[in-house]
Each structure stands twice: as structure tokens, then as C-alpha cells.
Amino acid sequence: MAEIDRIIHAPARLRIMATLIALSPGTEIDFRTLGTALELTDGNLGAHLQTLEEAGYIKLAKSFVDRKPRTHLSATTKGRARFEEHVAALRAICGV
Amino acid sequence: MEAPKSPSISPEEARASLAEIDRIILHTRRTIGHGAPSAIIILWGFIWVVGFASQQFFPPFSGRIWLFLDLVGVPGSFLLGAWRRNAPVKRPHSGKVGLSWLILFAFAVIWMLALGPWDLLRRPELAFYGSVMNRKFAVFWATVPMFAYILMGLWLDRFFIYLGTLVTLATVGGYLFIHHYFFLWMALVGGGSLIGGGIFIKKFWR
């Protein structure tokens, strides 16, 4: 039976993962865009991303665009699987 | 790191989480659609307006006009897609999406060249304004990309299903019932729907 994932369940991380899951596999989103979309400060977003990265749910890729550092992130296969499991658990609780 | 699991949550909380997930997924997909797709749809809307209007009002020149418009539209669509590569979202398959459209376009061209009764169309009595054959080709060229929109709508957003279906129905309806002003109908209703759809995405998908 699917179980609630404590890491994903935190509201901000749930929103981060939902955003990344909405993108097709391998698609990366810019750090700043994600923060703006979810109305999270850089510090707050960074802390949540670190938790998700340490859990292996997301992957960070750093690059330079016009000599400025940019961070892109995407959901890993493991992250996608855990998210699906989390959603299945939520549905089971709701009886959907 | 292995995730600790199974906090207990109420059905209301679970329902709220599911609603939030749905909202964010829809918002994210629409934000993506807000970029290149909307600009490309608007571009083709204008191409339809000019191309079909030329078939209505300047039939002898419409073939060359359509050729020019396609030569602008196809690379223009690729440029708009490439422009978005510097966008906040980087897609590994964006090249494949463009390639899929190019293959579809080539597929339609090949079938039109293979199946078109070109020898018949060379006869003066068939080459007149508003001929059935020209209208059939117009229906073909209008509905092929709309079918692709409908397919796109299955994985991106239902809006594309509505837009593709609307334009397809308008095209078939015009073909069946509006004979003499069919191309004008396509310019205004077909092209107008694409422009309107693109503007709608640009305005509301943020």
C-alpha cells in the first residue's frame, strides 16, 4: 500500500515537487523562476531544495549563462516515483 | 538518504493537498504553454488570415503567397521555439517537438503531392476561384495541424483540444455550407480562432 512521504508532505516541498512533476522527465526549471512561481525566498527555497536533493528526489545542475551562475533543477526518477506514491496515499486517505 | 514515512493526516488535509497538487501542475503546464506555443499559434493565425484571404480575393497569386507564407511560418516557428531555449525551463525534448511538427508537415506535403489530382487541376475549367479541389486541400491543410493540437491537448492542456476541435468543426462546417466565401470564412474564423487562442494563452496562462 502507498504511504505518505514525510519529506514531500511539507507544504513548500509538496509545491516544489508538484511543479517539477508537471514538467516532462528531464526538463529543468530555473531556481529563480521556481522561487518566483511558488513565492518562496531564495533562502527558504534553497533549504527545501537541499532536503529534497539529499533525499535523492531532485537533481541540481549549475551552469553559466552570460557569465552569470544559474541553477536548474529537475525531479529524479526516484523523486517521481515517491511523488506518485505520495499522491496515491493521499487518494487512498480521501477514498478516491 | 532514506525518507522517513507515514505521518498521519486527515482526509480533509489529504484532499487539500491533492487540490494544491492539481492547481500547481495545471499552473506550471500553462506557464510553459504561455511562451513559444502561444507565439507560434498567433503567427500561424496571421498566416491563415493572409493565406486564405489571398485565396478568396487573389486566387491567381494565392499559390505563391501560400508558398511564401509557409517559408516564413515554418522557420519562424522554429526560431520562436529556439528563442525559448534561453527560457527558465529547459526541455531535453524541445528539439523533438519541433521535429515532430516538421515530420507532420512533410507527411502532409507528401500525401498532398501523391494524391492530388494535379492533372485535373491544370484544366482551365477546374482552376477557377473557389473550386471544390482547392477547398478540399484547404480542409486538409487546416485539419492536419488541428488534429496535432488535439493530440497535444491530451498531455499539455485541454485548451488545445478545445481549440483544435473548434477550428476543425469551423473548417468542416465552412466546407459543407459556405461554398463561395469558404476561404474568407477560413481567414476570419480559422485564422481568427488561432490568433484569439494564442492571445488567450498569453493573457491568462501566467
Interface residue of A1, A3, A4 to substitute, partner B, most B CBs within 10 Å: A4
Tell me the per-residue pLDDT of B55-77, one tens digit each, with 9 for 90 and over.
999 988 988 999 999 999 989 98
In a domain, A77, yes or no: yes
- Whether A58 is in a domain gets the answer yes
Q: Which grid cell sits at B9? A: 493526516
Chain A residues whose C-beta sits inside 8 Å of any chain B C-beta: 3-9, 11, 14-15, 18-19, 21-24, 26-30, 32-33, 37, 54-56, 65, 72, 82, 87, 89-91, 93-96
- Quote the CA–CA distance of B69 and B124 in Å, as a whole number: 25
CB-based contacts of B123, cutoff 8 Å, min separation 6 = none
Say yes or no for a CB contact (<8 Å) between B5 and A6.
Answer: yes
HEC letters along A48-60: HHHHHHHCCCEEE
Q: Where are the alpha helices (H) located in chain A, listed in sequence order?
A: 6-9, 11-22, 31-38, 42-54, 77-94
Q: What is the CATH number of the domain that holds A42?
A: 1.10.10.10
Average pLDDT, chain B: 83
- A32 vs B88: CB contact, 8 Å cut-off? yes
Lowest mean pLDDT among A15-29, B43-57, B178-192: A15-29
Residues ≥6 apart with Cβ < 8 Å to A78: A56, A57
Q: Is residue A38 part of a domain?
A: yes
In a domain, A1, yes or no: no
Instruction: Nearest chain A residue to B1 by CA: give it.
Output: A55
* The predicted structure's pLDDT at residue B85: 53
Query: Which of B11, B20, B32 is the closest to A93 by Cβ?
Result: B11
What residue numbers bound the domain in which A79 lies?
A: 6-94
Q: Any alpha helices (H) in B3-130, and if so which ranges?
A: 11-33, 36-57, 59-83, 94-115, 118-121
The answer to whether residues B18 and A87 touch, using CB atoms and an 8 Å cutoff, is: yes
Is residue A43 in some structural domain? yes
Q: What is the ipTM of this complex?
A: 0.87
Is B11 in contact with A95 (Cβ distance < 8 A)?
yes
- Shortest distance, CA B9 to any CA of chain A (angstroms): 8
DSSP, res A68: E
Looking at chain B, the whole-number percentage of residues with pLDDT higher than 90 is 38
Angle between helices B94-115 and B59-83 (to 10 degrees): 160
What is the tally of structural domains in chain A? 1
Is B32 touching A (CB cutoff 8 A)? yes
Q: What is the pLDDT of residues A14-35, one digit of tens each?
A: 999 999 998 878 788 888 888 8
User: What is the distance in angstroms between the Cα of B103 and the nearest Cα belonging to chain A?
Assistant: 21
For chain B, positions 86-105, list CB contacts with chain A under 8 A.
86, 88-93
How far B199 CA sits from the closest chain A CA (Å)? 21
- Summarised one tens digit per residue, pLDDT across range A79-93 is 999 999 999 999 999
